[in-house]
Amino acid sequence: MASVHHFDHNHILSLQDLSREDIHLILQSAESFKEISSRSIKKVPTLRGKTVINLFFEPSTRTRLSFEIAAKRMSADTFNFSASTSSAVKGESLVDTARNLMAMHPDVIVIRHAHSGTPYLLTKHIKASVINAGDGTHEHPSQGLLDLMTVKQRKGRIEGLKVAIVGDIAHSRVAHSNIVGFSKMGANVLVGGPATLIPSGIEKLGAKVGKTIDATIVDADVVMVLRIQKERQRDPLIPSFREYANQFGINKKVLTAAKPDVLVMHPGPINRGVELDPDVADSPRSAILDQVSNGVAVRMALLYLIMGGD
């Protein structure tokens, strides 16, 4: 792939580490790989002989499958380890697990973990490249990239767009990656939701804070809705799902404040009727299905670029 910009990262740990040029290059590569996915023979030999390990300490069929398909389409050998099925992982410290995995000489380890920063710990103990597939409440860089890809496809640009992110900003690694990614690419990012779920210092990460939902989504080109988890009622961060749906849920009426052609996104899985009204989720304004199909292409691009493709 011809490109002026040289991709110079061994690991994909966070969008904070990537430059604007890096992100451009990833999105550009992903577009080319998307074309492969539409062919009848979907395999290319690019990563033949390479080993990719999916190391998932949290269940996530969607993200794991997406990485697995991406690796297979590039002819890499893939292995899956999950904390729930593998005795090699159960009860072992992460550092021990990493050392054991090195016996397989992996080229890439894709890791999902409930604790923030775990991918960084992994890089200190192994030689392979590490891709963060979601760590605690830190980041989910491949999800952020595919959201950027989806918006670019649907809106033709990212620069200058108004992107509103609504809901549990504090606990959402997707929100963190999106705030960093969209603001880095020149969008104006606003976050809104219950003040209990807006983390301190979020402005410095690249987002303005809207006091009300209306103020957050007014004139928005994109509204990203985050999943609200049941346990937030216990913490106590919100009074109830019912109150949340009434005050902060995104429905057709609320969306009238946004631009008429607003694009609605959700990293899934959706609590229909809580953070997002079914009418909106299934409407043409929703980009939820594109988000899934772009995932494989973005992950192919990441594997390709960290393995030295240029």
Partner 1 sequence: MAARSELLLKNGRIIDPVNGIDEQGHLLLAKGKIAGLFLKGKKAPPPSQNRREIELAGKWIFPGFIDMHVHLREPGEEYKETIDSGTKAAAAGGFTAVACMPNTEPVNDSETVTSYILEKAREAKARVYPVGSISKGSHGEKLADYGEMKKAGVVGLSDDGRPVTNSQLMRRALEYSSNFELLIISHSEEISLSQNGVMNEGYVSTKLGLRGIPKAAEEIMIYRDLSLAEYTGNPIHIAHISTKESVSLIRRAKERGCLVTAETAPHYFTLTEEAIDQYNTLAKMNPPLRTEDDVAAIQQGLKDGTIDVIATDHAPHSVLEKEQEFDIAANGIIGLETAVPLTLSLVRGNIISAQRMAGLLSSNPARILGVQGGSLQIGRVADVTVVDPEREFVFSADEVVSKSKNSPFLGRKLLGKAVLTVLEGKITFKDL
Catalytic residues: 62-63, 90, 112, 140
286 secondary structure, DSSP code: B
Q: For the residues of 4-18, what is the DSSP string, one character each?
A: SSPP--S-B--GGGS
| Least distance from partner 1 to the Cβ atom of residue 139, Å | 7
149 contacts 30 by C-beta, under 8 angstroms: yes
Closer by beta carbon to partner 1, 73 or else 113:
113
| Least distance from partner 1 to the Cβ atom of residue 173, Å | 6
Closer by beta carbon to partner 1, 120 or else 241:
120
Greatest alpha-carbon span in the chain = 56
Rounded Cα distance between 92 and 55, Å, is 13
| Least distance from partner 1 to the Cβ atom of residue 132, Å | 11
149 contacts 123 by C-beta, under 8 angstroms: no
| Least distance from partner 1 to the Cβ atom of residue 175, Å | 10
Could you tell me where the beta strands, DSSP code E, fall in 104-252? Answer: 108-113, 129-135, 162-166, 188-192, 207-209, 222-225
Residues making contact with partner 1 (CB under 8 A): 16, 93-95, 113, 115-118, 120-121, 135-139, 170, 173, 176, 199-202, 204-205
Q: Which two tokens mark 15?
A: 């969008």
Rounded Cα distance between 302 and 12, Å, is 8
> Residue 167: which region, alpha, beta or left (left: phi > 0; alpha: psi -120 to 50)?
left
297 contacts 30 by C-beta, under 8 angstroms: yes
Closer by beta carbon to partner 1, 27 or else 189:
189
| Least distance from partner 1 to the Cβ atom of residue 97, Å | 12
